[in-house]
């Protein structure tokens, strides 16, 4: 059974991102309306989900996997400007064209809604409009904090910040606490981390090794990360609270 097929038999009530997604506040009758217009799409790692400027016939939520938002300049230079993690929303109601390239960084499954019916439902379903507003404001806060990460933080702080973002999101989606050791599979290659953080590959590898040597993180293989104490990682990230900047 493919990953996409495994979700096609899951109702909204049992969806793993239900508590965080755009439908989080929906009542039973509203979920039934969404069920009528939803469908799943799967993408392989490296596959483009939508090109910048292309018309968007759908919107939706990332169910599993991770995607990147990338902007390309006229001379061909590109910059990764954001990450989409499970429960993040893709597309913007009211806007017909995509503002960024959206590329699957890992194998990815999306719960999609046809754009026109979704926009109509937004107009008549305050729970959806309210949740989408909350998510948009969270995204704005995250963008402002990310400006601080890229503009003012050291390479070590950047790596620690990115790891803390992914750890907290993984804990939230899977409803795990942040007390005690936290383990997750890093969804980004070191090359992708370097691109996103504006660092060289060598710097990323060096700083990860330094965090491991100082016992801030533990690594099993190249991707499995264990954080013995979240407070220590947040200290390394230069954060003065555990609220973080991507929730």
State pLDDT tens for residues 41-60: 999 999 999 999 999 889 99
Quote the percentage of the chain above a pLDDT of 90. Answer: 34
Nearest C-alpha neighbor of 167 from the set 154, 185, 150: 185
pLDDT at residue 70, rounded to an integer: 87
pLDDT tens per residue across span 58-69: 999 999 998 988
At 42, list the tokens: 């799967």
Tell me the pLDDT band of 2, cut-offs 50, 70 and 90: low
Kindly report the CATH class assigned to 3-125.
Answer: mainly beta
pLDDT at residue 4, rounded to an integer: 60
At 180, list the tokens: 């005690």
- Taking residues 224-240, report their average pLDDT: 88
Q: What is the pTM of this model?
A: 0.78
pLDDT tens per residue across span 171-225: 777 666 667 788 888 888 898 889 888 899 999 999 999 999 999 999 998 789 9
CATH number of 153-237: 1.10.10.10
Q: Rounded to an integer, what distance in angstroms lies between the CA atom of residue 126 and that of residue 148?
A: 34
pLDDT at residue 199, rounded to an integer: 92
Domain locations along the chain: 3-125, 153-237
Tell me the pLDDT band of 10, cut-offs 50, 70 and 90: low
Tell me the pLDDT band of 246, cut-offs 50, 70 and 90: very low
Q: Rounded to an integer, what distance in angstroms lies between the CA atom of residue 106 and that of residue 44?
A: 7
pLDDT at residue 242, rounded to an integer: 44
């Amino acid at each position: 059974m493919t990953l996409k097929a495994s979700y096609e038999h899951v109702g909204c009530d049992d969806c793993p991102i239900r508590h965080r997604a755009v439908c989080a506040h929906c009542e039973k009758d509203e979920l039934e309306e969404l069920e009528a217009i939803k469908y799943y799409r799967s993408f392989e790692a490296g596959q483009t989900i939508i090109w910048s400027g292309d018309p968007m016939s759908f919107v939706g939520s990332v169910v599993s996997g991770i995607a990147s938002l990338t902007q390309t300049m006229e001379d061909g230079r590109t910059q990764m400007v954001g990450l989409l993690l499970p429960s993040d929303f893709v597309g913007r109601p009211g806007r017909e064209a995509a503002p960024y390239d959206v590329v699957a960084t890992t194998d990815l499954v999306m719960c999609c809604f046809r754009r026109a019916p979704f926009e109509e439902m937004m107009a008549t379903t305050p729970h959806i409009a309210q949740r989408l507003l909350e998510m948009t404001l969270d995204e704005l806060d995250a963008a402002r904090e990310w400006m601080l990460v890229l503009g003012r933080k050291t390479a070590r702080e950047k790596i620690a910040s990115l790891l803390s973002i992914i750890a907290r999101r993984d804990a939230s989606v899977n409803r795990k606490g942040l007390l005690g050791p936290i383990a997750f599979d890093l969804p980004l290659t070191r090359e992708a981390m370097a691109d996103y953080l504006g660092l060289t590959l060598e710097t990323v590898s060096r700083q990860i090794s330094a965090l491991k040597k100082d016992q801030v993180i533990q690594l099993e293989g190249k991707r499995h990360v264990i954080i013995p104490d979240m407070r220590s990682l947040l200290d390394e990230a230069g954060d003065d609270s555990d609220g973080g900047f991507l929730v």
